[in-house]
Amino acid sequence: MGLLSVEVPFPLVVLLLCITASLVAGLMLTTERAAALGSHPGPAEGAVRARRSRPAPHPPPTPHGKHPAGGTLVDGQYTHRKVSTLSIQPIRIFGDPVLRTAAEEVDTYDKELRGLVKDLLDTMRDEGGAGLAAPQLGVSKRVFAFDVDDVIGHIVNPVLEFPDEEEQDGPEGCLSLPGLYFDTIRRQNVVAKGFNEYGDPLQIVGTGLMARCLQHETDHLDGIIFIDRLDSDRRKAALAEIQSQDWYNEDVKVKVTPHDSKGVFFKR
């Protein structure tokens, strides 16, 4: 059998050669472009401008409470109250006559009274005390502040009531006798009735430390210092300890309050 021969016209051969050459040229151009792009860094490699570092946004401000000085109201009293150094006042020390003077009742609930309450609260907390009465700041008014078990407050014109005769006997101190503590008998339970700085009726039911504080501070308003509540042996020892202190004024004659301390406390 012989080979099959096919004659291809010359113009068709030329056309095929042109198409082939065009394809090869296009392929080479594509390869060159790809190589050119590969020689330059892309955005991920730092071709774009580096971003500026921005400070972290500040958190939104903490909203203030609706109560004075941002405190929290608990049974008519404020907790977690901020202290202003502008309101901190010097405390009168044992021997000052104002501590033996019965304070006057408050009859006007005004800006001056609110200023006194602020002074009492800020001074008390600055000193780390559980209570502070107006006479201890040299103001003979029936007002005191307290800070017991994170309950911070004040009371104006307090009157104490005792629901029972249960007692407690334990250490008691006073900011007007700095650094000294003496075991003192107090009632275990007490109800204090009075008013707040705006003249609104206020009642505080206290037991344990709160009851001791309410009794101690009310005594201050009557010109009574807690050593007046001690029996004779304890008082004698307390006076000897007081006279040994650096802050004691030797020119002051130590004596028991001239006001009625109503005998031993359980008979009050």
Q: Where are the domains of the chain?
A: 68-267
pLDDT tens-place values along the chain, 268 residues long: 444 444 556 666 556 666 666 665 666 655 555 555 444 444 444 433 443 433 333 333 322 233 333 333 344 454 445 555 667 999 999 999 999 999 999 999 999 999 999 999 999 999 999 999 999 999 999 999 999 988 999 999 999 999 999 999 999 999 999 999 999 999 999 999 999 999 999 999 999 999 999 999 999 999 999 999 999 999 999 999 999 999 887 666 555 555 555 543 333 3
The topology (CATH level 3) of 68-267 is Peptide Deformylase (3.90.45)
Q: Which two tokens stand for residue 71?
A: 């405190």
Burial code of 185-208, b = ≥16 C-beta within 10 A, e = fewer?
A: bbbbbbebebbbbeeeebebebee
Q: Are strands 131-133 and 189-195 parallel, antiparallel or unpaired?
A: unpaired
Both ends of the chain: CA-CA distance in Å? 146
Q: Which two tokens stand for residue 160?
A: 């104490």
Q: Which two tokens stand for residue 63?
A: 């909203």
Active site residues: 217
Cα(177)–Cα(184) distance, integer angstroms: 14
DSSP for 180-193, please give it: EEEEEEEESEEEEE
Residue 70 contacts residue 82 (beta carbons within 8 Å): yes
